[in-house]
Amino acid sequence: MNNSPKEQSNCTFIPVKHLETIKVFEKKSDCDIWNAFNKGDEMAFNYLYRTYVHKLFQFGSQYSRDSSLVKDSIQNLFIYLRKKRGSLGEVTNIKGYLFKSIQREIIRNIKSNTSFEGFEENFLESHFQLEVSPEVSFIKNESEDERKIQVQQALNQLTTKQRKAILLFYEEELSYKEIAEIMNFSEVKTARKLIYRALASLKKYIKPTSY
């Protein structure tokens, strides 16, 4: 990035303008933002890119450590969406839609890059690893730390699908409906069950003893 003093002095007022455009969209529904994008509103594209690109990279990197592959996939996805402006369908949850799309794009790219058969099953084993954040234990005592280790062990025993669903549900704040769509379940209740089973197997570790 260019950090010349000239550019620095410019920043006294311009970012404020930029902020305002972001704010305008922050208050709008996903539907409205998507419609604006579909109609060719560049600020809406700007907003989408800025809001979701980091998330897409983090999610996409769960499938491939090849960062240039993930980067290219994101680029292709946005190029595709921009080309389709004017004829894009309605989207009520942008994040869910983009996650589903980037997943498709990345898997397609991985498949075309490698001759690896049946990658989806094997490949996923090591991915979507999750952990319990260390921040949470701030006030808790040592036995709490011990429980955390147990929870981590329990988390490690979850299936890849369960881990993925849990990350999408808690970390990405997606609904059961969106999770079902991303994971290609025909029914929402399959996603619900998946999470519920994962929680059941974690239950004895995460459930506080006092209840």
Residue 208: both structure tokens together: 């506080």
Residue 118: both structure tokens together: 């049946």
Tell the residue number behind the tokens 């147990």, with chain if given: 150
Q: Which of 25, 34, 36, 62 binds another protein (CB under 8 A)?
A: 62
Stretch touching another protein by CB under 8 A, among 76-84, 95-103, 107-115, 117-125? 76-84
Spell out the residues 6+ positions from residue 132 whose beta carbon is closer than 8 angstroms to its own.
148, 151, 152, 155
Least distance to another protein from the beta carbon of 150, Å? 13
Angle, helices 67-83 vs 94-113, to 10°: value is: 120
203 Cα distance to chain centroid: 25
**Does residue 129 interact with another protein by CB under 8 A?**
yes
**Does residue 154 interact with another protein by CB under 8 A?**
no
Residue type, position 203, single letter: K
Least distance to another protein from the beta carbon of 132, Å? 5
Least distance to another protein from the beta carbon of 116, Å? 21
> Residue 184 and residue 54: Cα distance in Å, rounded?
23
Please give the residues from 99 up to 128 whose contact with another protein meets the rule CB under 8 A: 128
Contact 120/107 with Cβ under 8 angstroms?
Answer: yes
- Binding residues vs another protein (CB under 8 A): 1-3, 7-8, 10-19, 23, 40, 42-43, 45-46, 49-50, 53-54, 57-58, 61-62, 67, 70-71, 74-75, 78-79, 82-83, 128-133, 135-136, 138-139, 166-167, 169-171, 173, 175-176, 189, 192, 195-196, 199-200, 203, 206-208, 210-211
